[in-house]
Chains A and B, each alone.
Chain A
Amino acid sequence: QQQVKQSPQSLIVQKGGISIINCAYENTAFDYFPWYQQFPGKGPALLIAIRPDVSEKKEGRFTISFNKSAKQFSLHIMDSQPGDSATYFCAASGGADKLIFGTGTRLQVFP
C-alpha cells in the first residue's frame, strides 16, 4: 500500500526551465513533508521540508507548495541547472519517527 504517491516517474527539462514534481498523500495524520535529493551512487540528502501550517516554503531555487485540503504537495525547481539532475523523493511523516517515501522522480536537465 503506497501511502505517498509521486509523479512523474521521470522528467526532462531544459536548462533554465521549471521542474515540477508532485506528491499526494492519504494519511491526514502526516504533519511533516520533506523532499530528498539523491545523486547516483549516493544516499539521499534532505533538500527542503514543510509543515502543513504553511502553504509554501522557498529556499533558493527550490520551493515546496502545500495544499492541505487536497492532500497534495509539490516541489518546484526554478531556473533548473544540469547539476540538478538527480532523483528526487518526496516523503511524509506523522509525528512518529518513520518517514514514508514516494517512488521517486528522475530529473534530467539538458543544457
Chain B
Amino acid sequence: NAGVTQTPKFQVLKTGQSMTLQCAQDMNHEYMSWYRQDPGMGLRLIHYSVGAGITDQGEVPNGYNVSRSTTEDFPLRLLSAAPSQTSVYFCASSYRGSAYGYTFGSGTRLTVV
C-alpha cells in the first residue's frame, strides 16, 4: 500500500549510542519532514527537505542529522543519544510547495536509558 513507512516501530538505546530512524515514501512526494511528539508539547519539527539533496533545520534540530539522497528516503540520525531524546518520532511527506495534506508514518517510539 502507498504511504509513509517508518522503521523500527520501537527502539531502546543507551545514552551515547547512535542510531538511524528510517523513513520511506512511495508517493513521489518532494517534501519530507521529521517531527517529534512529546506529551503537552504537540508535534515539533526537527528537520525537513524540499527535495533530493536539500535539507533544512526545523524548531528542534540539535542532536539530529538528516540527508536526502533520493526522493523516497529521508533517514534521521541520532548522533549520541540522550534521555531528552526519548520521544515518538513521526516522518511526514507531501507534494512540493505544499504543507497541505501531509501523509504521516505510524511513528517510532524511542526510549533512551
Using known A-B contacts A97-B31, A98-B48, determine if residue A44 contacts B100 with beta carbons closer than 8 Å. Answer: no
A29 within 8 A of B: no
B27 within 8 A of A: no
Q: Mark B7-32, 1 if CB is under 8 A from A, else 0.
A: 00000000000000000000000010
Using known A-B contacts A34-B100, A49-B100, A98-B33, determine if residue A103 contacts B48 with beta carbons closer than 8 Å. Answer: no
Q: How far is the CA of A93 from the CA of B90 in the complex (A)?
A: 18
Q: Are A42 and B48 in contact (CB under 8 A)?
A: no
Inter-chain contacts of A102 with B (CB < 8 A): 42
Within the complex, the shortest CB–CB distance from A16 to chain B, in Å, comes to 29
What 4 A-B pairs come out closest when comparing CB atoms? A43-B104, A93-B99, A103-B42, A101-B43
B45 within 8 A of A: yes
Q: Looking across the interface, which residue of chain B has its beta carbon closest to that of A100?
A: B45
